[in-house]
Amino acid sequence: MNSNYLQTPITYLKGVGPNRADLLGSELGISTYQDLLNLFPNRHIDRTQFYKINQLERSNADIQIIGKIIHIKTVAQKRGSRLVAKFIDDTGEMELVWFRSQKWIRENLKLNTPYVVFGRVNWYNGKFSMAHPEMEILKNQQPAKRLRMQPVYPSTEKLSNSGVTNRMISKFVLQLFEETGGLFQETLAPDILDTLKLVPKRVALRAIHFPDSQEELARARFRLKFEELFFIQLQLLMKKQRRQQKIRGFNFEKVGDLFNGFYEEHLPFELTSAQKKVLREIRADLGSNAQMNRLLQGDVGSGKTIVALMSMLLAIDNGYQACLMAPTEILANQHYNSLKELLGSLKVSIELLTGSTRKSDRKRIHEALENGELHILIGTHAVLEDKVVFKNLGLAIVDEQHRFGVAQRSRLWHKNATPPHILVMTATPIPRTLAMSLYGDLDISVIDELPPGRKPVKTVHRFDQNRLKVFQFIRDEIKKGRQVYVVYPLIKESEALDYKDLMDGYESIARDFPMPDYQISIVHGQMKSDAKDYEMNRFIRGETQIMVATTVIEVGVNIPNASVMIIESAERFGLSQLHQLRGRVGRGAEQSYCILMTGFKLSSEAKTRLETMVATNDGFEIAEVDLKLRGPGDLMGTQQSGLLQLKIADIIKDSDILNTARFYAKKVLEQDPLLEMDQHRSVRQAYSEITKHKNIWTYIS
């Protein structure tokens, strides 16, 4: 089957026509034969199995029963009426109900005649009932002509109301198989099919829609999941391969005086073995002649900054400049101050460039960058402006990179004729399966241990009625000279309500912690940024003991003296957000605490989140639970959720298949980097179709 044929608009399929085609397009995104073929059923109903009425359960399941109608009546209701039939078998009775087409149904139903009825069972007024069942007289039934396993397709209210039912979609798919003869091109190499005992593509596609048994369905699902994940991994690995071949990187050959001087004299503490391992990986990249593109994952407080600085010193030792870009001014300021302090007396010039930088300072920074006097530039989006020109940028570091758009990141690349080495840092732990699917073209490093002397934050869950005890605990901590965060949720849809929560909370805290004994800062999203910075800086300097805030403080600010994080309405936060907020404390040597405050009414998911937070400080463990609870789309936020709109695979449940797919994608490219061998012809053709029509992956790492 020519793959171009599958790009035929769905309008041309027999029985569809322009109106239904428009509906299928707007409601399910189906505009071609290919799209319909890839509309995989959510589930299948086994039509080989019959139930007795006394076997029914209150499960809302679709089932079929053999029995007969012994009585029919019309029942008046608030609006109009309903037709109700008493349906019996040899074990009991139930009701069949119709709200539409009552006259036609009444005229055509036969009493005391054995029927096969099929539909969804409901429990209503102490009885089982089935609304608008499919019905067939038993002796007319032709099982051979009917599907043994009936597919149930995704649908919408608009489709159902317009008469495009599940049965109709099923007919369209059958029609498609008829028109194409079910002859679909194979997409995988013969040796992969043999080794993994995968069913051929044409068999898998037929069986995913219309299987004859559960076993056949399972084999089809495995084959199609593997294929989807295989091509995603192939695309990521080919992108990485192309980058390594085409994009030559600067070769940082020497480990010079700055790197060694810092390591021997200025290192504030012994590096952890995880930090040493990551530095070895980065050094190997920087000396390999290929451009580095590495993702550095490290939990909050794991010491990514030291690794970033030592990587920058390698660049400077080799005659290049480095820059570090952060998503907010507060975070950029913090990086600047901590790096300046770490560098001490080393002869390295470092500057900060943000939207607030004075015009005269900008001019000086621009000149020093262009003539090479400036070694390290720390900044926000301001670094991306066209006026910012480096003499020779060798290393670009992007912090919390998911907060920058693709276009913004790619502008950093073009600051040089030769793209700089790229190190992307994140304190948001990404589960391995997700990292493999989102960042599969990046090399990944992980710092998975905290620096020595850091005590894990103690986390507890308290109900609102314990508030007085919590306030007493705050007083005790402040007496010891510590500082406290109190954070309220920020949910975009309800900013007015959130603001009220925050102000109510602020007033109650101000009553319990009155001036002049206590000073309180307040920070929220509706404040102007200079007012926000003023309040933040008062807290940073220790002039205020309590910071009442919304989640604007989530990323970045490092205040070693803050030892208590109180999260109000903690059930309204996602797991990764709770973990990020907890990471604001525990930055010093003292024991720190995170108190999760909630009411008594909690959903089971909220309970799981709170229990997970109390049980572990491990960001990767938390991220795995979060992935299971929320799914990959939600986890990556709106900017990137479109990346993982998979048709059939599920990266959480199918992590084993994902690992297998990546292994075989790697193996194919090791044997045949350009997919030129005859045995990979089907893979090559499928790959070019995917990139031409679907463009699965449009993500620049």
Query: Is residue 125 classed exposed, middle or buried when 0-12, 13-18 and 19+ CB atoms within 10 A define those classes?
Result: exposed
The CATH number for 264's domain is 3.40.50.300
Q: How far apart are CA 418 and CA 368, in angstroms?
A: 20
570 and 524 in a common domain: yes
| Gap between the Cα atoms of 181 and 183, Å rounded | 5
Answer yes or no: do 405 and 472 share one domain. Answer: no
Say if residues 430 and 297 touch (Cβ distance below 8 Å): yes
Q: Are residues 408 and 488 in the same domain?
A: no
Average pLDDT over residues 52-68: 85
- Domain end, chosen from 569, 589, 616, is at 616
- Res. 490 pLDDT band, cuts 50 70 90: low
Q: Are residues 409 and 464 in the same domain?
A: no
CA distance 108 to 93: 21
CA distance 555 to 568: 18
- Is pLDDT of 696 > 70? no
The span from the CA of 281 to the CA of 612, in Å, is 32
Residue 563 lies in a domain: yes
Task: Report residue 61's pLDDT band, with 50, 70 and 90 as the boundaries.
Answer: confident
**pLDDT tens figures, 246-286:** 667 788 888 888 988 888 888 878 888 989 999 999 998 88
The pair of structure tokens assigned to 317 is 């030792």
Give 636's contacts (C-beta < 8 A, 6+ positions apart): 402, 434, 438, 643, 644
Residues 338, 417, single domain; the answer is yes
Length of the chain: 701
- Is the pLDDT at 557 greater than 50? The verdict is yes
374-384 per-position pLDDT tens digit? 999 999 888 88
Looking at residues 398-419, what average pLDDT do you find?
A: 65
Q: Are 395 and 468 members of one domain?
A: no
Give the angle subtended at the CA of 688 by the CAs of 684 and 690, to the nearest 5°.
115
| CA–CA distance, 636 with 401 (Å, rounded to integer) | 12
Largest CA distance in the chain: 99
H helix runs in 459-574, sequence order: 467-479, 495-512, 529-540
Domain boundary among 581, 616, 651: 616
Last residue of a domain, one of 107, 128, 146: 146
Amino acid at 563: S
* Confidence category of residue 639, pLDDT binned at 50, 70, 90: very low
Residue type, 6: L
* Torsion-angle region of 112 (φ positive above 0: left; ψ -120 to 50: alpha; else: beta): left
Q: What's the number of domains the chain is made of?
A: 3
Residues 237-241 have a mean pLDDT of 82
Helix, strand, coil shares of the chain, percent, nearest 5, are 45, 20, 35
Q: Where are the beta strands (DSSP E) in 321-382?
A: 321-325, 350-353, 376-379
CA 458 to chain centre: 28
Show the domain range for 265. 257-286+303-426
Q: Is 391 found in the same domain as 509?
A: no
- Which of 1-15, 137-151, 349-363, 608-622 has the lowest average pLDDT? 137-151
CB contact at 8 A, 157 and 26: no
pLDDT category at 665 given cuts 50, 70, 90 is very high
Do 58 and 114 fall within a single domain? yes
pLDDT tens-digit readout, 168-196 = 898 999 999 888 887 788 899 999 999 99
For residues 546 and 566, what is the distance between their CA atoms, to the nearest angstrom? Answer: 10
Task: Report residue 66's pLDDT band, with 50, 70 and 90 as the boundaries.
Answer: very high
Neighbours of 682 (CB within 10 A): 18
Q: Are residues 261 and 344 in the same domain?
A: yes
**pTM given for the model:** 0.63
Query: Could you tell me if residue 42 is inside a domain?
Result: no
In a domain, 611, yes or no: yes
Euclidean distance between CA atoms 268 and 277, whole angstroms: 18
Q: Which CATH number fits the domain that encloses residue 73?
A: 2.40.50.140
Same domain for 517 and 563: yes
* Cis check: omega of the bond before 211, within 30 degrees of 0: no
The answer to whether the CB of 558 falls within 8 A of the CB of 531 is no
Given pLDDT bands bounded at 50, 70 and 90, which one contains residue 532?
confident
Residue 683 is assigned to a structural domain of this protein? no
Query: Could you tell me if residue 417 is inside a domain?
Result: yes
CA dihedral (241, 245, 250, 253) positive or negative? positive
CB 231 within 8 A of CB 415: no
531 and 415: one domain?
no
Helix (H) or strand (E) run with residue 117 in it: strand 115-124
Residues 482 and 336 in one domain: no
Q: Which long-range contacts (CB under 8 A, 24 or more apart) does 523-532 make?
A: 523/547, 523/548, 523/549, 523/550, 523/552, 523/553, 524/490, 524/499, 524/549, 524/550, 524/552, 525/490, 525/495, 525/550, 525/552, 526/495, 526/499, 529/329
**Which residue matches tokens 């997700």?**
434
**d(Cα 389, Cα 69) in Å, to the nearest integer?**
84
Max mean pLDDT range (350-359, 446-455, 573-582, 634-643): 350-359
Q: How confident is the model at residue 636 (pLDDT cuts 50, 70, 90)?
A: very low
Which two three-digit tokens encode residue 586? Answer: 């525990």
CA 614/CA 617 separation, integer angstroms: 8
- The pLDDT, as a whole number, for residue 701 is 26
What distance in Å separates the CA atoms of residue 87 and residue 72, rounded to the nearest whole number? 9
First to last CA, the chain: 36
Residue 361 lies in a domain: yes
The amino acid that residue 107 corresponds to is E
Whether residue 272 lies inside any domain: the answer is: yes
Give the pairing type, strands 62-76 and 115-124.
Answer: antiparallel
